Structure 1
Amino acid sequence: MLTLICGAHLYTPTPHGKMDVLIAGSKIVDLQKKINIDSNTNIKVIDGTGCILTPGFVDSLVHITGGGGEAGFASRTPEMNLTDATLHGITTVVAALGTDSSSRTLTNLVAKAKGLKELGLNVFCHTGSYHLPAKTLTGSITDDLMYIDEFIGVGEVAISDHRSSQPTVQQLAELAAQAKVAGMLSGKKGTVSIHVGPVDTHLSILHDIEQQTDISLAQFYPTHMNRNKALLDAGIEFCKGGGTIDFTTSTTEYDLANGEYAAARALAYCLDQGVDKTKLTMSSDGHASLPIFDADFNLIGLEVGKEASLHDSFVEAVNVHGVSIEHALMAITSNPANVLGLKKGNIAINTDADLVLMDSQSLKPTHVWSQGSLMVDNGFAVIKGPFE
């Protein structure tokens, strides 16, 4: 079936005014001010009047198999369902393990990714986890990236956190070098996703690696950079050195009351400070455990990350903090796709038809397509997982 979306304001994520978009199979095959089709072929026409049409959101950190609970076995978080993503405009997720790589395994991660892909979602994964030496499926980071399609990088490796393995400069540099070479050999980016904790060493180990080796800051992709203003300012310096930073949209009221910047606020702050708009991203940390620690790192609470927070933060950035739709979209579409080396996050002829149609006033998704398949129609999920 052909699908013709008519009269929506198109963001690629750059704004292009009112455009018609034609989908055939899994691809976008035409973009014009007006597309006229005179044919007896079955064509589904979607009226985009009063809406904006954007790339499908790219959520660069999701714990699709759930996270290990810092309060024991009973606190392990649940797995993600398909509609946790699609109902909120997310068509691409990048999955990773976190603190727990014992009860949460890479075999389970890849199996879950394959299952979500069968349902129509775009899913990629990182090998490894918080700790070094990195756990792998094949026994080698190089082989994981070269021979397992879903693996595109390594992570999320923890630094500046009491839960990390306290990696040395040499250990982390060796891992980054392996990831870089593996990426070169496999045609992937080999990005190293970095979990940054609250310890005031911030990103110092990454700068040490850049100064002492041939590895650039662009090889690393630090997340949770909105924990506090000091870390946020360290992130700005990281961007000036050529790196990209990520803000976590899932948070807790406790953390916000104790110095954390909401992701939308952090995005606006960095843009106001003149940070390159292509170097800023937001991700949900969906289905991760969100532990609340006191000043002595004692666990005092635990919540669960939500994929829905990615769209919520996009809306907050636009409506509360005055970020343009274009720049807010870049943070959840083209920017994360580019830092991870994914052919996603933009709209052009012959690109995958990953699209979100949103009401231009409320910015609520009404229709979502992933690889040309209609996942959400008039706000309702038309494709669900088998157990939803």
Structure 2
Amino acid sequence: MLTLVKNAQLFSPEPRGLCHLLIADQRIAAVIDASEAVNLGPFITTVDLEGRRVVPGLVDPLVHYIGGGGEGGFGNRTAELSLGDACASGVTTLIGALGTDALTRTPANLIGKARELAAGGLSTYAYTGSYQLPPVTLTGSIASDILYIPEFIGVGEVAISDHRGSQPTNQELTRLASDARTAGLLAGKSGIVFIHTGDADTHLEPLRNVAKHSAIPLSQFYPTHINRTAELFEDGLRFAREGGFIDFTTSTTPELLAGGEVPASEAVARALKARIAPAQISLSSDANASLPEFDEQRRFVGLKPGRLGSLFDVLGECINEHRVDIEHALRCASTTAADILKLPRKGRLAKGTDADFLVLSEGRWEIEQVWALGKPIYDRESGNKVI
């Protein structure tokens, strides 16, 4: 099947001007300058975007497919992610994780949900393990999970500097990172260790200790929630200057902001101003996780769920409110995560990449269409339904 998407104002993420995209077998077969004549015969579907902006589908490195939370008891479990919400969000590549609860939620549940979303047209991956060590797995070890289960590309979300984690020792973190790294090399995957960072004063120091006392580089770790407090944000900038990656969380609550969280769009703008490269900065939604509130004695107060659509919203805030260059902002919301996670066909629009892209409304920061693997999966004018 061939589809020609004509007259797209293309950001790949770098601005390419007015282009045509030729799609074949789920991928982009060619990017053609609109000034060139195109005659592909009658056996092709043609879609004319009439100059609308086209950007890469977003890559979200932290989504809780099957919900999260439960810190306040079973009445506080957050819901699973629905296919309809996922398709409308602008996120076309999702990486699923367990969180605090690896007892009533399991790696098998996670993989089942990943395959359900993939059957709906999205690209889905997952991390084995959870907050706690030793990690929960599907096959008996994180190494065999990464090696033998296609969706597993690393381990996470492993908690450090958080009272809900298992307080891992330097030796435990080192062994975990070594096992994930070796399995990733054998499987041709990233083998990344995705890290949940809490608000304890130790911040990212446990990761520095691993790099200092072993051959594991800082880049083997991918810490998130770096904007959760002002102090953690500053430590995250230092971590990036030392060669690491940092991820900002786009889902938030008034309580988190009142407690000192740096809004994700502001965090991106400030990190770029501090000369941290876009290739070291990413955004994730923490969708369908619980965003809990605790009092000064670490007692549970309440929670709200994370939202997948917050990633697209924050991307717009970066561009429209903080005047971040659109190419840099798109890299933070798509390309950087794809590169860190070793998904080379994701996060950019060029010959040979997957045809995952968003069509934006004219004159507004709004999604008009979502295309995934060469097919439209959402159209705003059709009544906000998967098509």
SS in 1 for 2:174: helix
Matches of 2:186 and 2:362, distance apart in 1: 43
Using structure 1 for the length normalisation, give the TM-score.
Answer: 0.96
Partner of 1:8 in structure 2?
8
Provide, for residues 242-261 of structure 1, a one-character-per-residue CA deviation record: whole Å limited to 9, x for no partner: 11100000000011112101
Query: What displacement does 1:119 show?
Result: 1.2
Provide, for residues 338-383 of structure 1, a one-character-per-residue CA deviation record: whole Å limited to 9, x for no partner: 1111121011112111111112531211111111121012454553
Partner of 1:286 in structure 2?
287
Among all aligned residue pairs of Structure 1 and Structure 2, give the percentage whose two residues are the same amino acid. Answer: 45
Matches of 1:88 and 1:184, distance apart in 2: 32
SS in 1 for 2:154: strand
Partner of 1:258 in structure 2?
259
Match 2:357 to one of 355, 358, 377: 355
Provide, for residues 125-176 of structure 1, a one-character-per-residue CA deviation record: whole Å limited to 9, x for no partner: 0000000001111111111011100000000000000001000000011000
Provide, for residues 83-117 of structure 1, a one-character-per-residue CA deviation record: whole Å limited to 9, x for no partner: 22221211000000000000111000001111111
Matches of 1:164 and 1:28, distance apart in 2: 43
Partner of 2:304 in structure 1?
303
Using structure 2 for the length normalisation, give the TM-score.
Answer: 0.96
Structure 2: 5+ residue runs without aligned partners?
none
Partner of 2:85 in structure 1?
84
For residues 181 and 139 of structure 1, do their structure 2 counterparts lie closer, same or farther at Cα, with a shift above 3 Å needed?
Answer: same
Matches of 2:228 and 2:329, distance apart in 1: 19
Q: What count of residue pairs does the alignment treat as equivalent?
A: 383
For residues 39 and 243 of structure 1, do their structure 2 counterparts lie closer, same or farther at Cα, with a shift above 3 Å needed?
Answer: same
SS in 2 for 1:333: helix
Query: What displacement does 1:46 show?
Result: 2.7
Matches of 2:117 and 2:367, distance apart in 1: 20
Query: What displacement does 1:230 show?
Result: 1.0
Compare 77-86 and 93-102 and name the one that shifted more: 77-86
Partner of 1:36 in structure 2?
38
For residues 172 and 223 of structure 1, do their structure 2 counterparts lie closer, same or farther at Cα, with a shift above 3 Å needed?
Answer: same
**1:353 partner amino acid:** A
Q: Is the 8 A contact 2:96 2:127 kept in 1?
A: yes
Query: What displacement does 1:4 show?
Result: 2.0
Matches of 2:245 and 2:190, distance apart in 1: 14
Matches of 1:173 and 1:29, distance apart in 2: 42
Q: Is the 8 A contact 1:48 1:357 kept in 2?
A: no
For residues 102 and 314 of structure 1, do their structure 2 counterparts lie closer, same or farther at Cα, with a shift above 3 Å needed?
Answer: same
For residues 350 and 136 of structure 1, do their structure 2 counterparts lie closer, same or farther at Cα, with a shift above 3 Å needed?
Answer: same
For residues 87 and 379 of structure 1, do their structure 2 counterparts lie closer, same or farther at Cα, with a shift above 3 Å needed?
Answer: farther
**2:386 partner amino acid:** I
Query: What displacement does 1:188 show?
Result: 0.4
Compare 145-154 and 3-12 and name the one that shifted more: 3-12
SS in 1 for 2:333: coil
Residues 200-239 of structure 1 aligned to structure 2 (within 5 Å): 200-239=201-240
Structure 1: 5+ residue runs without aligned partners?
none
Partner of 1:17 in structure 2?
17
Q: Is the 8 A contact 2:221 2:244 kept in 1?
A: yes
Matches of 2:194 and 2:237, distance apart in 1: 17
Q: Is the 8 A contact 1:3 1:46 kept in 2?
A: no
Residues 324-339 of structure 1 aligned to structure 2 (within 5 Å): 324-339=325-340
Partner of 1:135 in structure 2?
136
**2:371 partner amino acid:** W
Matches of 2:21 and 2:153, distance apart in 1: 30
Q: Is the 8 A contact 1:145 1:186 kept in 2?
A: yes
Query: What displacement does 1:45 show?
Result: 1.5
Whether 2:376 is the aligned partner of 1:374: answer yes
Whether 2:48 is the aligned partner of 1:46: answer yes
Q: Is the 8 A contact 2:370 2:379 kept in 1?
A: yes
For residues 266 and 43 of structure 1, do their structure 2 counterparts lie closer, same or farther at Cα, with a shift above 3 Å needed?
Answer: same
Matches of 2:268 and 2:296, distance apart in 1: 26
Partner of 1:60 in structure 2?
61
Matches of 1:278 and 1:48, distance apart in 2: 31
Q: CA RMSD in A?
A: 1.3
SS in 1 for 2:369: strand
Query: What displacement does 1:12 show?
Result: 0.9
